[in-house]
Amino acid sequence: MNKSRGKFITFEGVEGSGKSTHAKFLYGYLKARGYKALLTREPGGTAIGDRVRDVLLDKKNKGMSLACELFLYMACRAEIVKEIIRPALEKGLIVISDRFGDAASVYQGYAGGVDAGIIRKLTDFATNGLKPDLTILLDIDPRIGFDRIRKRKGLDRMESKPLSFHRRVREGYLKLAAAKKGRIKLITAGGDIRDTQALVRKMACECLSIR
């Protein structure tokens, strides 16, 4: 692994796919092996981002326009790249993020209907061109994902969108994975959590050149 610059690993997937859990597990695994790593999330991860997250996910804001939603997510993304992700990468850390720019491509783009070209331009501007070295896409039927979510908490504004919307999100992720096979690695996440995490670690270690 290049010691002068860290590696950037992101997790993506529909709601309830287990991405947050597996991101945490991978972070703990790398730390236990002595690697310097940082775990963060979107939206949020900064003081400003966490406040915007509250606005984005509050069910009271169900009338929020798609344009407003998109720009708020991009604002969070710009802030976390500037404050957290780039500085950590420059220090040689492994940065693990629960969601990143691909989420905009599928949530506001493929499922929401915003032109893909606009999404790409806004994402490049917000991140100053930063792209993950590896993206792990955890795939699951959205209905199964929602069953998982309901067992542990209520649904936020994004989770409360119709099931048809989340099915389009899944379709968008699968199309994106097919188009970017070099970076996006697909894992079927409906099975045993230990088996899924084993695959996550295998893909991450290959990216990081860890045996």
The CATH number given to whatever domain includes residue 136 is: 3.40.50.300
Q: Domain range for residue 157?
A: 8-208
Residue 1 domain-assigned?
Answer: no
Summarize the confidence of residues 34-62 as an average pLDDT.
96
Summarize the confidence of residues 26-47 as an average pLDDT.
97
Asked if residue 90 lies in contact with residue 106, where contact means CB atoms within 8 angstroms, the answer is: no
CA 103 to CA 209: how far, in whole Å? 26
SS3 label, residue 11? strand
The per-residue pLDDT for range 144-183, each reduced to its tens digit, is 998 888 777 778 999 999 999 999 999 999 999 999 999 9
**What b/e string do you get for 19-48 counting C-beta neighbours within 10 Å, with b at 16 or more?**
bbbbbebbbebbeeeebebbbbbbbbbbee
pTM: 0.94
Residue 3 domain-assigned?
Answer: no
H or E stretch at 121: helix 116-127
* Total number of domains in the chain: 1
Quote helix, strand, coil % in the chain, to nearest 5: 55, 15, 30
pLDDT over 90 (residue 133): yes
